[in-house]
Amino acid sequence: MRWRHGWVFHPGAAMDDTNALMGQRKAKLDSLRARGIDPFRNRFTPTEGCGEARARYAEGREVALAGRITAHRDMGKSMFLDLKDQSGRIQIYAQKNVLGDESFEVFRHLDLGDFMGVRGTMFMTRMGEISVKVQSFVILAKALRPPPEKWHGLADTETRYRQRYLDLMANDEVKRTFLLRSAVLREVRQFLHARGFVEVETPMMQAIPGGAAAQPFVTHHNALGCDVYLRIALELYLKRLLVGGLDRVFELGRNFRNEGISRRHNPEFTMLEAYQAYGDYETMMELVESMVCHVAQAVLGTLHIEHKDAQGNVTRTIRLDRPWRRVPYKTLVRDKAGPDWFEVAPAERRRRAVALGAEIAAEYADFEVTQAVFEKLIEPTLIDPVFVTHAPKELIPLAKTSADDPSTVDVFECCINGQEIAPAYSEQNDPLEQRERLEHQAGGEPQKIDEDFLVALEHGMPPAGGMGLGIDRLCMMLLGQDSIRDVILFPQLKPKPSSGA
């Protein structure tokens, strides 16, 4: 069967009711309907969440609870179920002599994974488990597929990423991670709002993708009859807003880069960029430091973050205690590669870099050799936060030159957990110098120059500090995840149309 847009529709993908387990569940669904019960047509208003009910236990208290059935223990004429919603889990207890023969028979149509609502009274079992004695119940939704295994959870990484709902259902720690990610975003916003920053939304579809040097995704607008690009950075539009008089702006949103996928890279990722008029990169240092500490304290309640391996052993501890170290780029390089690193001949630098274990491609320029030493040998060792300042001018064409060392620019790269987390600049606001650098970057292709942005600068942009912060990497650091895929709900995977997903 051919679908409209040219991709092939695989009937086996979603409709493999050849599976015996599904067949049994469908038979139960039919049996319910034959009894006049449609398990997809009920509204139910719980008095509280399952976990909340447990926390507010009172013998004999009447409650109405709804959730998914996650376990059952069948005693014949009575049955225990575990009911789970976002707030937690509670045990419910159904008895044949309370519900009656007919109703108890309906109750037995329930399977693991089904949604139900119960009304009843709370009691404590002999084993001390807070439970609800069911007076009445209603089936809220039947699950036609069985849930993952109850004890080991869902382990297959591919299924976990492709069918994240199963991962969330089966693995509580995964759900916790994503709830915490949501809290991180909330606290970032709250912090910036408290400092008078205005949240804005700028175009994701751009005629000229600027603000970074990454490969963009291309798409096409039919009515306009032109190609547009998915944005690779937020920068150029936020600076237009500085020109317009929004002195403190930020945007928290998705960037798209058409590049390799790895443990640290997803093609779409969440970026925070914030600009503060009349500030500079040192203003942004204070901002980043305060913000990350605020988020850690608010979300985790601590500034000491432990990362653990699969066995639960602590593999590293990140200490966010202030003040954070501030070190010039060249100092770090000299400490690693020798105090005379910047004095020796380029060929000698190349030789030493290889001796230190950095892979140096033949076409690397001299500054790229140094950068390779930094990226491969120094950055991975920066676990506690460090502001790496005064980067070489060649690396960052869009920042202001340092007054005290004209070969460097007024920027920092904040490294935590062995990764770049947040770069910040004293933003370039000289329209002539900016034009020169953009033209250089465009390499003789004038269609790559965002002329409207340059016009905006010519109207005058206030001096400003600007920063970007990779939210996904921040979450990896704060939540102890080694892979970006474990902090993104639906990470990019290659389509697999023939799978069961």
Restricting to residues 127-156, name those near RNA by CB under 7 A.
Answer: 127-129, 131, 145-146, 148-156
> In sequence order, what are the beta bridge partners of 136?
119
Q: Is position 381 an interface residue for RNA (rule: CB under 7 A)?
A: no
Contacts 24+ apart (CB under 8 A), 290-293: 290/191, 291/188, 291/191, 291/192, 291/469, 292/320, 292/385, 292/416, 292/421, 292/474, 293/320, 293/322
Stretch 75-94: interaction string toward RNA, x if CB under 7 A: xxxx-x----------x-x-
153: left (phi over 0), alpha (psi -120 to 50) or beta: left
Say how far apart CA 253 and CA 204 lie, in whole Å: 9
Q: Based on CB atoms, which residue is closest to RNA, 127 or 345? A: 127
Q: Is position 233 an interface residue for RNA (rule: CB under 7 A)?
A: yes
Helix (H, G, I), strand (E, B) or coil at 172: helix
Binding segment (CB under 7 A) for RNA, from list 29-37, 122-130, 189-197, 286-294: 122-130
Q: Based on CB atoms, which residue is closest to RNA, 21 or 455? A: 21
Residue 463 neighbours by CB distance under 10 Å: 15
| Contact residue for RNA among 13, 21, 205, 365 (CB under 7 A) | 21
Stretch 254-283: interaction string toward RNA, x if CB under 7 A: ---x-xxxxx-x------------------
Say how far apart CA 64 and CA 277 lie, in whole Å: 54
Q: Based on CB atoms, which residue is closest to RNA, 2 or 494? A: 494
Decide: 352 and 368 in contact? Cβ < 8 Å: no
Decide: 453 and 235 in contact? Cβ < 8 Å: no
Q: Based on CB atoms, which residue is closest to RNA, 31 or 331? A: 31
Site for RNA in 313-372 (CB under 7 A): 359, 361
Q: Based on CB atoms, which residue is closest to RNA, 363 or 404? A: 363
Say how far apart CA 372 and CA 361 lie, in whole Å: 10
- As measured in angstroms, the least distance from the Cβ of 132 to RNA is 11
Q: Is position 213 an interface residue for RNA (rule: CB under 7 A)?
A: yes
Beta-carbon contacts of 79 under 8 Å, excluding residues fewer than 6 positions away, are 72, 73, 93, 94, 107, 108
Q: Is position 208 an interface residue for RNA (rule: CB under 7 A)?
A: no
Residue 135 burial by Cβ neighbours in a 10 Å radius (0-12, 13-18, 19+): middle
- As measured in angstroms, the least distance from the Cβ of 76 to RNA is 2
Q: Is position 229 an interface residue for RNA (rule: CB under 7 A)?
A: no
Q: Based on CB atoms, which residue is closest to RNA, 157 or 190? A: 157
Stretch 37-76: interaction string toward RNA, x if CB under 7 A: ----------------------------------xxxxxx
| Contact residue for RNA among 95, 171, 401, 419 (CB under 7 A) | 95
Token output for 386: 């460090």
- As measured in angstroms, the least distance from the Cβ of 472 to RNA is 13
Residue 234 burial by Cβ neighbours in a 10 Å radius (0-12, 13-18, 19+): buried
Q: Based on CB atoms, which residue is closest to RNA, 111 or 296? A: 111
